[in-house]
């Protein structure tokens, strides 16, 4: 990834995270806002990839490669500080969809996170190599998202 892309991704991340750190003084609420921002970045980048794979968006090799690389970079950020103990939807009702199981099912949650990381690496390796290549790996990404959401995310806030 060239320097301009890295800088752009970093600035985008900071712009999305800045309100989380400026809004209030509760460090747990800041962490919740930061992880919501991270999930928004994931969705922003994954959405067009799923659209391309399903034929709803024209395949664009350069865009697919960039989006997949963005997901890979975000997945490999050290974000443990976004997940402080007790920052679940019971303690912070209406602010997060994260179930208490996130903190009580180790190593299952770690395995889910690793599956997502692995899927982003595999997708980034092939996303720009044609629609069939993208389609061959996008399912693993979708499954990693779904599996984590099924086990660790509430339907509503």
Does pLDDT of 7 surpass 90?
no
- Taking CA 30 as the corner, what is the angle to CA 149 and CA 77, rounded to the nearest 5 degrees? 60
pTM exceeding the 0.75 threshold for the entire prediction: yes
- Number of continuous H segments (helices) and E segments (strands) in the chain: 6, 0
Output the six-digit token pair for 68: 């997949």
Does pLDDT of 37 surpass 80?
yes
- Listed in sequence order, the residues at least 6 apart from 72 whose beta carbon sits closer than 8 Å to its beta carbon are 120, 121, 123, 124
Please check whether residue 92 is in contact with residue 102, taking contact to mean a CB–CB distance below 8 angstroms.
no
Region 23-48 average pLDDT: 94
Q: Using 50, 70 and 90 to split pLDDT, how confident is the model at 63? A: very high
* Domain spanning 3-152, CATH class: mainly alpha
pLDDT higher at 20 or 59: 59
Provide the β-strand partners of residue 153.
98
Phi, psi for 51 (deg, rounded to 5): -60, -45
Q: Using 50, 70 and 90 to split pLDDT, how confident is the model at 17? A: low
> 128: closest CA among 49, 23, 73?
49
What pLDDT, on the 0 to 100 scale, is given for residue 157? 87
């Amino acid at each position: 990834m060239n320097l301009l892309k890295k800088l752009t991704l970093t600035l985008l991340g900071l712009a999305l995270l800045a309100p989380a750190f400026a809004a209030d003084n509760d460090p747990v609420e800041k962490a919740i806002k930061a992880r919501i921002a991270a999930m928004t970045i994931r969705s922003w980048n994954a959405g067009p990839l799923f659209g391309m794979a399903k034929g709803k968006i024209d395949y664009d090799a350069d865009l697919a490669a960039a989006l997949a690389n963005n997901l890979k970079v975000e997945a490999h950020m050290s974000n443990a500080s976004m997940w402080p103990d007790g920052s679940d939807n019971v303690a912070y009702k209406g602010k997060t969809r994260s179930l208490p199981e996130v903190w009580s099912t180790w190593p299952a949650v770690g395995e889910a996170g690793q599956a997502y990381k692995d899927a982003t690496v595999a997708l980034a390796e092939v996303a720009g190599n044609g629609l069939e290549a993208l389609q061959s790996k996008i399912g693993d990404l979708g499954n990693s998202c779904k599996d984590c959401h099924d086990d660790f995310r509430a339907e509503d806030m």
